[in-house]
Amino acid sequence: MVSTALPAPSRRSTRTWTNRLLGRQPIGLVFGAPYAVFIAIVFAYPLGLAVWMSFHAYFFTAPGVSVPRPFVGFDNYRAVLGDSDVRQAFLNVLVFLVINVPLTVVLSLVLATALNAAVPLRTFFRVAYYVPYVTASVAVVAVWLFLFSSTGLINRSLGSLAPSPSWLINEHWAMPSIAVFVSWKQLGFFILLYLAALQNVPKELYESATVDGATRWRAFLSVTVPGVRPATTLVVLLSIITGANLFTEPYLLTGGGGPNGKSASPVLLIYQRGIQQNHPDKAAAIGVLLVVGVLLIAGIQQLLERRAAR
């Protein structure tokens, strides 16, 4: 301390000079550098490359071989949009969202509300609910395949009520089955989100609702639901992103998006077109369209919500 006090004037001047250029703690640059490099390599550059690829003719070559990759404008997009498989896959995601989003929001809010009260076995319930969320999709897909196979436990229990052909190979049931599976798997995470949000709903509101003679159901609708609206926005948004990201379920649960592509997802097609069939340019175009679609749906949701809140 004493030694630093002596040459103070000159040191201070150099320090302010570097501080002005690099900030008060330039060491932060060193600490942040690995993460910055990581973002640049596996995020920023690939993001640019994805968009670039979607506007050029691009295919895989042996390493080191350079081939012309001419600019083709919107050709890839035109090809992709003209592809009935791709259109079907986007339609499938809509079917998925129509089932998955309401199911997720309603069930996770109801279970979180129930769990928020002083109930016995609380820890047990919390653990039970997030076990599917922390387990690998591949592992739980295996059980669902077993449960929902033609001669599986579900069909045996249902007897003549079982759909034919069975759930996962039935054109009408394949996508709804995936939607229910994903709702089941993700629900624990969303219950935790809602539990956190419920802590922010003021207790006085419930008290005054009770004094006003409101029933439990009424209090739930007019206190809980508006109270957790920000969380609901987040849950819906994350559900939409999950829906857009579907790959493991159609790949394994319905054997590659079957039957007849009725459960194919855009990401499955990105894999098939891009890597299996060597059309990475078209796959990149599907990816860009998918992200634009997600942003559009999220934007519409925001608009509707703002209007509802007004």
Partner 1 sequence: MSQTTSTPLPLAKAAAAATSDEPRAATRRRWSVWRLVALLLGALVFLFPFYYMIVASFQKRADTSVGGIIPQAGNLSLHNYVQIDKAIDLGKTLLNSGIFTGGVLLGTVVLGVLAGYALAQLHFRGRGVLFASMLLLQVVPFQLLMIPLYVLIVRDYGLGDSYLGMIAPYAINSTAVFVFRQYFLQLPADLFNAARIDGASELRILRSVALPLVKPAILTATLMTFIGPWNEFLWPFLVTKDHAKQPLAVALANYISTVAASAGNPYGAILAGACVLALPAVALFVAFQRHFTSSNLGSGVKG
Segment 103-162, which members bind partner 1 (CB under 8 A)? 107, 110-111, 114-115, 117, 119-121, 123-132, 134-147, 149, 151-153, 156-157
Considering the complex, what minimum distance in angstroms separates the CB of residue 262 from partner 1? 18
Measured in whole angstroms, the distance separating CA 40 from the mean position of its chain's CA atoms is 22
Return the residue of 227, 291, 293, 305 that touches partner 1, per CB under 8 A: 291
Q: Which is nearer to partner 1, 245 or 301 (CB)?
A: 245
**What would the two tokens of residue 232 be?**
């609901």
Closer to partner 1 by CB, 109 or 307: give it: 109
The amino acid present at 267, given as its one-letter code, is V
Contact positions with partner 1 (CB under 8 A) in 39-68:
39, 41-47, 49-50, 53, 60, 63
219-278 residues near partner 1, rule: CB under 8 A: 234, 241, 244-245, 247-248, 251-252, 255-256, 266-267, 270-271, 274-275
How many residues belong to the site for partner 1 (CB under 8 A)?
A: 109
Q: Given the complex with partner 1, which of 14 and 307 has the nearer CB atom?
A: 14
Nearer to partner 1, 40 or 304 (CB): 40
Minimum CB distance to partner 1, residue 233 (Å): 12
What's the Cα-to-Cα distance from 233 to each of 163, 167, 240, 246, 305, rounded to whole Å? 35, 31, 11, 20, 8
Euclidean distance between CA atoms 174 and 261, whole angstroms:
10
Provide the b/e sequence for 196-234 (b: ≥16 CB within 10 Å): ebbeebeeeebeebeeeebeeeebbeebbeebbeebbee
Under 8 Å between Cβ of 49 and 58: no
| Closer CB to partner 1, 143 or 304, in the complex | 143
> Least distance (Å) from partner 1 to the CB of residue 16?
13
Q: Return the number of the residue (10 or 276) whose C-beta is nearest partner 1.
A: 276
Question: What is the chain's length?
Answer: 310
Are the C-beta atoms of residues 77 and 293 closer than 8 Å to each other?
no
